[in-house]
Amino acid sequence: MCLGSLTNATRTGYDAGPRLAARWPGGLAGRMRLPLRGTVALVAVLIAGCGGSSGHAPVPTPPPTGSAAANPAVDLKLHVGGQPCGISSAAGSLWVSNAATAKLLRINPSTHAVTTAAALDPTPCEITPGFGSLWVVTQSGKVDRVDPSTGTVVARIPVGATSYQTMPTPGALWVSNRNDGTLSRIDPRHNRVVRTVHLHGIAPGGLAYAAGALWIGDDTDGATHVLRMDLANGRTTRVKVGQRPGYVTVADGAIWVSNVNDGTVTRIDPRTAKATATVHVGLSPVNLKPGPRGDVWVPDDTGNRVVRIDTHSVKVVQVVKVDGGPAVVRAFGDAEWVTMFETGEVWRILPNR
C-alpha cells in the first residue's frame, strides 16, 4: 500500500521528552504527549512505494524551508508515517521499524521508494544486524528475526519484559530487557534463549560489545554507572559516568555513553574501563551511534538536535537542528540517517566536513 505522498503542508507534532518506551512503564503508547514548540514544514516528502520491491521514483525535491533551510546538511526528509523508531542497513537497503503500526519498512537509498517489508510484533524499535539477519526488539516480549534478502520475519523469539536492544557477540546474541532487569542470551542457530542473566538494581538499556565484554547502559533515574560484563567469566564491573547513562555504542576503539539526564556524552577506554573524557551535547542525548567517518552522532531528543562528535578531540563539530524528536541514527554511505519519531519522517544528514 502507499506509504506517503508529496506535500508542502505543515503538520502539528508533539514533544514529550525522550521517546523510547523504556522511559515510560506504560510503553510508547502510554507516554504523555505535549504540544510541540512549533509546526513542521514537510519539505521533501516523497512518493512511497505501493507494493512490490521497487516502489515509485521520487519526485524532485522542492527548495528547503524551515530547519532544512537553516541547516543545509539536511538534504532529504522522507515521510513514512506513524512513529519511525529503529533504523539499520542490510542488503543494500535501509530498514525502519514503525512503533505505531508494528511494520518493518524498507527504503531504497537511491530512489527513496518505501515499501512495507513485514509485520512485526507490537511496538518495535531498535534494529541490529548480525548473523546474516536483522534483529528487531519490541515492547511485547519478543525479538523478531528478519531475513534481509526477503524482508520476512523468520523467527519470533520470546525474551524478557520491554526489550531494549540486541547485540551480536561471538556465537550469541544478547538482549537487554529493561523492565525486568535481565539480559537474554540467544543461540542464533536455534533461535531460542539459552541463558538469562539477572542484573539487580539496574534497568538495562543500550548494549555494546568491545574487548571481550558486553557494555550495558542503565536507564534508571539516579543511575551514574554503566556495567561491563566479561563474557569469558560473567564478572561485572561498574564504571562511573554521568546521570542516567542509558545508551552506549562503540566508535574508534572506545565506548561512548549518552548520559540522558545531564546532557553529556562520556568516552570510556574499554581496556582500562575508565572514563577518559566527557562532552556536553544538549538536553537529552539518546541512541548514539558511530557515523560514516568514524565519528559519533547523537540524537538530542528533547533538544530537537542531532550532534556530531569528533572522536579524536572529543568535541562537538556539528549541530543540526531538526523537528519532531530524533530517535535513532544510523550511518549509511556518506550520510547519517535519522528517524523522527513524532513527525513520521526519516531524515538524511550530511557531515559538514
**Does residue 5 fall inside a structural domain?**
no
Q: Give me the number of domains the chain comprises.
A: 1
Cβ–Cβ under 8 Å, residues 281 and 316:
yes
| C-alpha 209 chain-centroid distance | 16
Residue 250: all three cell numbers together: 562503540
Q: What gap in Å lies between CA 155 and CA 124, rounded to an integer?
A: 15
320 is a domain residue: yes
Count of beta carbons in the 10 Å neighbourhood of residue 188: 18
In a domain, 31, yes or no: yes
Quick one: which of 258, 265, 262 has its CA closest to 217? 258
CATH number at residue 323: 2.130.10.10
* Residue 1 forms part of a structural domain: no
Low-confidence ranges of the chain (pLDDT < 50): 1-69
Q: What is the C-alpha to C-alpha distance for residues 109 and 17, in angstroms, rounded to an integer?
A: 29
Residue 249: CA count within 13 A, CB half-sphere: 24
Residue 108 lies in a domain: yes
What b/e sequence results for 218-235 when a residue is b if at least 16 CB atoms lie within 10 Å of its CB, and e otherwise? bbbeebbbbbbbebeeee
Question: What are 200-255's pLDDT values in tens digits?
Answer: 999 999 999 999 999 999 999 999 999 999 999 999 999 999 999 999 999 999 99
Question: Closest Cα to residue 330, out of 115, 6, 89?
Answer: 89
pLDDT score recorded for residue 70: 54
β-pairing, 254-259 with 114-119? unpaired
SS3 343: coil
Burial (Cβ within 10 Å: 0-12, 13-18, ≥19) of residue 245: buried
- Host domain of residue 27: 10-349
User: Where are the strands (E) in 161-211, listed by range?
Assistant: 163-169, 172-177, 182-187, 192-198, 204-210
Is residue 2 domain-resident? no
Residue 3 lies in a domain: no
pLDDT at 60: 31
pLDDT score recorded for residue 343: 96
How high is the pLDDT of residue 72? 75
Strands of 99-188 (E only): list them: 103-107, 114-119, 124-130, 133-138, 142-147, 152-158, 163-169, 172-177, 182-187
pLDDT tens, residue by residue, 270-305: 999 999 999 999 999 999 999 999 899 999 999 999
Count of C-beta atoms within a 10 Å radius of residue 39: 14
Per-residue confidence (pLDDT) for residue 324, from 0 to 100: 86
